[in-house]
Structure 1
Amino acid sequence: MANQGLSKTEKKVAFSLASVFGLRMMGLFMIMPVFALYGQHLEGFSPLWVGIAIGAYGLTQAVLQIPMGILSDKFGRKPIILIGLLIFALGSLVAANAETIYDVVAGRALQGMGAIAAAVLALAADLTRDEQRTKVMAIIGMCIGFSFALSLLVGPIVAQHLGLSGLFFMTAGLALLGMLIVQLLVPTPISHAPKGDTVAAPEKLKRMLLDPQLFRLDAGIFILHLVLTAVFVALPLDLVDAGLAKEKHWMLYFPAFMGAFFLMVPLIIIGVKRNNTKGMFQVALIIMMAALGSMAMFADNLVILSIAVVLFFTGFNYLEASLPSLIAKFCPVGDKGSAMGVYSTSQFLGAFCGGLLGGGAYQLVGASGVFAVALGLMCVWFLLTFGMKNPVLLKSYTLEANVTDKQSAVSMATELSALAGVSEAIVVLEEKVAYLKVDDHFDLREARAVLRSVD
């Protein structure tokens, strides 16, 4: 049986790429809790433009995420990642030297053009064995969550001492540090993992959008990041109005996020033990809806706002952690790259729309109005979940298939499908790879025997 642990190289890949991803996401997130408070000296400042500046990166990310992944397949992962980080650093420098809010918007949009998420995940797939890939992706995912929590602590502290310009100079430095990590610590792959497992295929995107289960998840991540961005347009200003000095916001955000992280653990445990992911998903949505309702009704009460922030992050953490794994479970076998491409595009587009909606709503109806609109959108998502299915607990494998013609590929797929524990199997002749979805009765040795025996 294959070794169940990560190899030394795989651990190096996991933590180095997680660091790169985390540094970049931290650079994007740090502005969220501080820009509305520390950007008021900029020419053209208004709540609407605050929202646009916070969310601007999402539009360019959404547009370029899939093309950058495809380019990485053609020209290599590491060169595209390095170019993306360099573009991100340049965008940070543009924002750091901004004298108007429009310059900040331009800088944030340029940051988003360094859309490396697909290329980083594809590189992780290139450098790991198929049976260990899920663990590596989980480490990267946890690092993204930690970077968000850290940004809520570091952002307000850096802005307090160095101002908004200093914060953007710091994000440029984080991008350059990421480039050093890629160049010095991340191995260079000899071959690419199959495209279907890592990079979106444009011809499959329409099918991903029309799949009812995937559509619910894509709509969900769109609404989740729309709400997150909109809330952070209004919440910092609302906390100041409620009596919490801007220099002390980190004393609420960071403990609230970390506390919420532990509060979400029971939701995960109950969902797994009872095999009721859908039920816990809806509970997390109700928790977020309760938080937003409290924010809307008690916008001037600091104690209730603080409790609401903890509840908000509890639901957010659970949903943010659950959605990617649900995408992987519901997507057709061999189409994970395309499914994740649509998912990532929806996520970043949600961030852009959230900035636009949050800024516009705050300008028209104030913080309570922003929270009320966000609550309405979460209600829409809640209604969508009633058609959601509980996913079957299956694992995915991507195995090399030495097939030379269509007949041998069909023969191999037939034999693999007949194995115990195999729920779905396809063999792609062009990629010379077999994609499997399996349950606990699956024996990897039997599959490898089939792969060896079919000519």
Structure 2
Amino acid sequence: MTYLSLIMATRFLGLFIVLPLLSVYAMHLQGSSDTTIGIALGAYALSQMFLQVFFGKLSDKYGRKHIIAFGLLILALGSIVCAVSDNIWMLIFGRLLQGAGAIGGVVLAYLNDLSTEETRGKMFARMGQFIGLSFAIAMVVGPIWGAKYGVPFLFDITAVLAVLAIVLLYLKVPAAPEIQHFEDSAKISEVFKNRELIKVYFSGFMQKGMMTIIFMVTPLIFINKLGWEKMDLWKVYIPALVFGIFAMPFSAIMAEKKGKAKLVFILSAIFMTSSVIAFLLSNESSYIIGVVLFFIGFNMLEPVLQSFTGKIARIHEKATAMSIGNSIQYSGIFLGGLVAGVVKQYYGYNALFYLILAIGVIWIISLFTMKDFKGFDIKTFDNFDDEMINKFKNDENVHDVFIKEKVLIVKYIK
């Protein structure tokens, strides 16, 4: 399962590594404007958004491994197109192609298949930590290598990482166990009836949307407004990286061991929204503080976001719920880039920051209504019959009941 987390982190490293310099690089391409740069920044998320559920259904039919490999292959192809782009529209097409390998939900469903009830929370938290670490590495390596070798070189790295992930997938990741549940596959409308999932989805939307906005405006502000060199961006990303790394284990411990997931969600929202206030102060020190605050909030939420989705959703709706969650997060990435480009182009930086601040306040308020998840009491039965199964299915205190590797598993709400 660690290898599956590593594959996910490798994929995200390739996508994250271009973020620190992509807006500055795209600005010099033929046909570029603030709007088209914003679209290029978030374009990969648009195809991800629409194809997540489709890839999830394919994985149910043809198996997780083959679909994951196919998605990674598309990512590699899209990265090559981005690397050779000489105009903004070709770059946007390459970014769309990068995102067309929409396997995030499939990987999460695979991890869910491989983990046990006792280890599931830990495994999802570990994957979140791996993704957060890849994000942190990208923030250091991206500006340095991008300034030295060029942004097309970073896209080449993404293609190589995608191929390496395919090799790792077939050499190290085991086959998924057989799981039997007793409900029809969940409909999308059924998933959206769960209010707690809606709050988690909105948090993922805000987290990823603000990520795109921050990585569009930060290099533009420091290079164009403050006169920094591209190579100097590490001076703002390194402090943010250090604080972000310390935030990750804190949030994982609070959410998974202390049962304080609601507090983690609220604190992460406060940190990310506060980063916008720092940007509004409009001086070099406040910009640096703003990036640090954002990194802390982002890294606090990343280890628990998918874990919380997996805990709330029942077994028959997990793949659908996770695919929807990923689609919503990617919609945040795309809309974040689009809104940032349009608002900055026509109204300026401050209008953009005030808009995000207003939405951020609504986000924080909504999280105070979230239920504090206390986990489940789990019982297992080696011997069972249909009568016993029906009894558990009709018990209002039972969250879920299913069979995994010939063992009946019953999850009671604490």
Length-normalised TM-score, structure 1: 0.82
Q: Which amino acid aligns with 1:380?
A: I
Of 227, 250, 262, 2:246 maps to: 262
2:119 is paired with a residue whose SS is helix
Counterpart residue number, 2:320 = 338
Question: C-alpha displacement at 1:65, in angstroms?
Answer: 1.1
Matched, 1:222 2:222: no
Q: Does 1:328 align with 2:320?
A: no
Match of 1:359 in 2: 341
Aligned partner of residue 391 in structure 1, secondary structure: coil
- 1:211 equivalent in alignment to 2:194: yes
Deviation (angstroms), 1:346: 0.9
Show the counterpart of 2:163. Answer: 176
CA distance 1:393–1:402, change in 2 (3 Å): closer
Shift of 1:248: 1.2
Q: How many residues align?
A: 413
Among 126, 132, 136, the alignment partner of 1:139 is 126
Distance 1:348 1:36 in 2: 18
Query: What is the CA distance between 1:181 and its match in structure 2?
Result: 1.0
% identical aligned pairs: 34
Cα distance in 1 for partners of 2:328, 2:378 equals 24
Instruction: Give the corresponding residue for 1:69.
Output: 56
Structure 1 residue 258 displacement after superposition: 2.4
1:386 aligns to 2:386 (yes or no) = no
Tell me the SS of whatever aligns to 1:33: helix
**2:149 is aligned with 1:166:** no
Partner residue of 2:301?
A: 319
Can you give the 5+ residue segments of structure 1 that lack an aligned partner in the other structure?
Answer: 1-13, 441-455
SS at match of 1:437: strand
1:53-452 alignment, distance < 5 Å: 53-189=40-176, 191-194=177-180, 201=185, 203-240=186-223, 241-263=225-247, 276-298=260-282, 301-332=283-314, 334-394=316-376, 403=385, 407=387, 409-411=389-391, 413=393, 423-427=397-401, 434=408, 436-438=410-412
Change (3 A) 1:161 1:303: same
| Greater relative contact order (CA < 8 Å, ≥ 6 in sequence) | 2
Q: How large is the Cα RMSD of the aligned pairs?
A: 3.0
Is the CA contact 1:56–1:109 (under 8 Å) kept in the aligned structure 2?
yes
Cα distance in structure 2, aligned partners of 1:108 and 1:261 = 28
> Which shifted more, 131-140 or 88-97?
131-140
Counterpart CA distance in 2 for 1:122 and 1:400 is 25
Distance (whole Å) between structure 2 residues aligned to residue 37 and residue 439 of structure 1 = 50
CA spacing shift, 1:376–1:33, aligned 2, 3 Å:
same
Query: What letter corresponds to residue 321 of structure 1 in structure 2?
Result: P
Larger Rg: 1
Aligned AA for 1:131?
A: E
User: Residues 436, 360 of structure 1: CA spacing in aligned structure 2 closer, same or farther, 3 A cutoff?
Assistant: farther
The worse-fitting range, judged by mean Cα deviation, of 219-228 and 133-142 is 133-142
CA distance in 2, matches of 1:45, 1:395: 56
Contact kept in structure 1, 2:83 and 2:153, CA below 8 Å: yes
Structure 1 residue identity aligned to 2:155: F
Looking at structure 1, the residues matched to 243 and 182 of structure 2 have their Cα atoms a distance apart, in angstroms, of: 38
1:345–1:273 Cα change, 3 Å: closer
Partner of 1:131, secondary structure, is coil
The answer (yes or no) to whether the contact 1:23–1:175 under 8 Å persists in 2 is yes
Cα deviations by residue, 1:314-371 (Å, 9 ceiling, x for unpaired): 1222223333333334334653333222211111111111111111112122333322
Counterparts of 2:287 and 2:210, CA distance in 1: 16
Letter in 2 for 1:170: I
1:285-309 deviation per Cα after TM superposition (whole angstroms, max 9, x unaligned): 22222221110232xx211211221
Q: Structure 1 pair 430/311, CA: closer, same or farther in 2 (3 Å)? A: closer
Q: Is the 8 A contact 2:179 2:405 kept in 1?
A: no
- Give the match's secondary structure for 1:210: coil
**Equivalent residues in 2 for 1:8-27, closer than 5 Å:** 14-27=1-14
Deviation of 1:120 (Å): 1.9
The 3 A distance-change label for structure 1 pair 153 and 184 is same
Note the C-alpha offset of 1:68.
Answer: 0.8
TM-score (normalizing by structure 2)? 0.89
CA distance in 2, matches of 1:336, 1:401: 26
Given that 2:251 and 2:304 are in contact with CA atoms closer than 8 Å, whether structure 1 keeps it comes out as: no
Per-residue Cα deviation, 1:237-285 (whole angstroms, up to 9, x for no partner): 0112123322111232133122233256556666788855434533332
| Residue identity opposite 1:242 in structure 2 | L
